[in-house]
Amino acid sequence: MVDRQIVERGVEDGAVIAAMRAVPRDCFVGEEMHEFAYDDTALPIGEGQTISQPFIVAAMASAAGLRPDSRVLEVGTGSGYGAAVLSVVAGEVWTIERIAALADQARARLADLGYDNVHVVHGDGTLGLPEDAPFDAIIVTAGGPAVPDALVEQLADGGTLVIPVGSETRVQRLVRVRRHGGDLVEEDLGPVRFVPLVGDQGWTRPP
């Protein structure tokens, strides 16, 4: 999976590549999806949600420019797979999920697998986690109509936010926002497809 889907497609961050080799994706999907766990695709995880395609997990983690001591916020825990990958590359990870059943399942799974530098929170990630801010990186794994102000405000100086943004609920551009003091630099990293970001600063209701 890692050689064909990630290295050959141009992900160069060695720490991210090592994390993708280390985290067992099959442990983050149901029994019935085990045979597809290393395929080049998103997979259903229940509640109408998906575990992201491996390439996009690696591409977003490398776009965030993580260091071993980075404090990272992930919005959209889903299965917990992305949080596990981030926790291997970075120092400490907070991940927020709006669907309680998914948050509970991911928390138990991450604890079982020994990813003890991950905190799983149930709530609306479009508001971020002000009490634990600022973050060196914020990675949003669901697509919203715009970049939430709350998340930009919770970026550390020199920090990076990576988020799918689009005017349709399931088609987006991946946007990277970097903070340099009071200045924000925004870049378009290309087209992506994510489930909708539903919340106060996202879409107003599930589709």
Q: Which of 11, 62, 115, 125 binds ligand SAH (CB under 6 A)?
A: 125
Site string for ligand SAH, 128-157 (x = CB under 6 A): -------------xx---------------
**Near ligand SAH in 21-50, by CB under 6 A:** 49-50
Residue 76 to residue 79: CA distance in whole angstroms: 9
Q: Provide the Cα torsion 104, 37, 46, 201; round to 10°.
A: 70
Residues numbered 187-206 forming contacts with ligand SAH, rule: CB under 6 A: 195, 197-199, 202
Dihedral pair phi/psi, residue 64, rounded to 5°: -80, -10
The verdict on 169 binding ligand SAH (CB under 6 A) reads: no
Q: Which of 195, 199, 201, 203 is nearest to 82 (CA)?
A: 195
**Residue 52 designated active-site:** yes
87 binds ligand SAH (CB under 6 A): no
In this structure, the dihedral spanned by the alpha carbons of residues 16, 194, 198 and 118, taken in order and rounded to 10 degrees, is -20
User: What six digits make up the tokens of 34?
Assistant: 């085990």
Give the torsion through C-alpha atoms of 161, 164, 166, 170, to 10 deg: -160
d(CA 137, CA 46): 27
Amino acid at 86: L
Interface with ligand SAH, residue 97, by CB under 6 A = yes
Nearer to ligand SAH, 175 or 198 (CB): 198
Point out which span in 93-101, 154-162, 170-178, 179-187 binds ligand SAH (CB under 6 A). 93-101
Rule CB under 6 A: say whether 79 interacts with ligand SAH. Answer: yes
- Locus of tokens 């002000």: 130
The residue at minimum Cβ distance from ligand SAH is 78
Largest CA distance in the chain: 49
Q: Which one of 52, 70, 79, 87 is the catalytic residue?
A: 52
Q: Is 124 in the site for ligand SAH (CB under 6 A)?
A: yes
Catalytic residues: 52
- Interface residues with ligand SAH (CB under 6 A) are 49-52, 75-76, 78-79, 81-82, 96-99, 102, 124-126, 141-142, 195, 197-199, 202
